[in-house]
Amino acid sequence: MINKLTLPENVILGEAVSKTFTYAKSQRMALPAVNITSSSTANSVMSVAAELSAPIIIQLSHGGAAFYGGKSVSNSNHQGSIKGAVSAALHVHAMAPTYGAHVMLHTDHAARKLLPWIDGLLDAGEEYYRQHGKPLFSSHMIDLSEEPIEDNIETCCEYLKRMSAMGMTLEIELGVTGGEEDGVDNTDVDSSRLYTQPSEVAYAYEKLSKISDKFTIAAAFGNVHGVYSPGNVTLRPEILRNSQDHLSEKFGLSHNPVDFVFHGGSGSSAEDIAQGIDYGVIKVNVDTDLQWAYWNGVREFYEDRKGYLQGQIGNPEGADVPNKKFYDPRVWLRKAEEGFSSKLTDICRQLNCESAF
Ligand SMILES: O=C(CO)COP(=O)(O)O
Ligand SMILES: O=C[C@H](O)COP(=O)(O)O
Ligand SMILES: [Zn+2]
Ligand SMILES: [Zn+2]
């Protein structure tokens, strides 16, 4: 890349979010958005972001945030997910400069029943803004795609107003992502709902842009969460191009006016991803493939060192030899991190997301 991105801080917030997305479009690149569940996975993202000079999005689902804070913490009134997500964000604010990583902080799907989670995060975010003069999170997602579009967009407009006061970005969803997301099972949803209509994108764009230009749209083009055997998922990225062309014409806008988000990135072909980027995708969500890579790091380590992992004492070198240096979590969890980081490196390269700084 010839042009370089200059950003004021390691956590990409406020205007720097828009600047990064504009840069991504100009370079035909997209940012990976990685679901994290622990400091181990957050640190792995930061290390790859620094190593590749790639801007990466760290995101937490409602369940991922609860796990981050600890599963034994009560999640009544979403407190576990609120406190867990805040804790993850504070960790990233503290460590991103040390890594030299440039990352955004985002929360994933929030259906209406999860809006109290977002309310709690915005309360915490406003408090953080008062103290630090900057937002705690770069952006949140509100996913009311199950609802009539009028209800979806009306609620999103309310949240965009509140978030705009802190310069935050909102991600919305139009059309349904198949598979499962945060406890919502979309595996049997009518297939027509998996393809967003250009008129829906135009409706959302018109309403939201009256409030702020800081929004992104997860439009459905056949995407599904999870990884399935070949032939089960048919992506139609041209759906995105049709929406872009429709908006350019209807509102007299330049080429690819919308910032699109590609959900269900795992298991997608290089061609579908490249086409999505051509049609204005600037964020690609990847969870399942990285879950596998993290686990596979442990699996390979176990296969390789099986004889040293059957008890505290006794291995192929002798019945009395201790195995502490094999079952220490810093050894095998590090293998998970290495597997995760290696896969994330491949993903960044596939998204043309490296050497940005
Ligand atoms: O879209 C996602 C998170 O919102 C991730 O989807 P995958 O797990 O299919 O990569
Ligand atoms: O919604 C999809 C993401 O993969 C998050 O999944 P999760 O709710 O299991 O954390
Ligand atoms: Zn959804
Ligand atoms: Zn998703």
pLDDT for residue 245 is more than 80: yes
DSSP-assigned letter for residue 178: B
Q: Which residues sit with Cβ closer than 5 angstroms to ligand 4, an ion?
A: 263, 285
Instruction: Give pLDDT tens digits for 73-94.
Output: 999 999 999 999 999 999 999 9
Residue with tokens 């604010």: 93
Asked if residues 347 and 286 have their Cβ atoms less than 8 Å apart, the reply is: yes
Instruction: Give pLDDT tens digits for 41-71.
Output: 999 999 999 999 999 999 999 999 999 999 9
Q: Which pLDDT does position 184 carry in this prediction?
A: 78
SS3 of 192-234:
HHHECCHHHHHHHHHHHHCCCCCEEEEECECCECCCCCCCCCC
ipTM comes to 0.98
Q: Which pLDDT does position 92 carry in this prediction?
A: 99
Residue with tokens 């802190």: 166
Q: Which residues 6+ apart lie within 8 Å of 136 measured at CB? A: 86, 89, 90, 93, 105, 121, 124, 125, 128, 129
Q: Which pLDDT does position 2 carry in this prediction?
A: 55
Burial of 213 (0-12, 13-18, 19+ CB in 10 A): exposed
- Give the other-Cβ count within 10 Å of 147's Cβ: 14
pLDDT for residue 1 is more than 70: no
* Cβ of residue 261 lying under 6 Å from some atom of ligand 1: no
Q: Which pLDDT does position 189 carry in this prediction?
A: 78
Q: Considering only CA atoms, which residue is closest to atom 3 of ligand 1?
A: 285
Mutate to test the pocket of ligand 2, among 59, 68, 225, 228 (most ligand atoms within 8 A of CB): 225
Instruction: Give pLDDT tens digits for 198-230.
Output: 999 999 999 999 999 999 999 999 999 999 998
Residue 82's nearest CA partner among 105, 114, 109 is 114
pLDDT for residue 182 is more than 80: no
* Cβ of residue 287 lying under 6 Å from some atom of ligand 1: yes
Ligand whose nearest atom lies closest to the CA of 182: 2
* Model confidence pTM above 0.90: yes
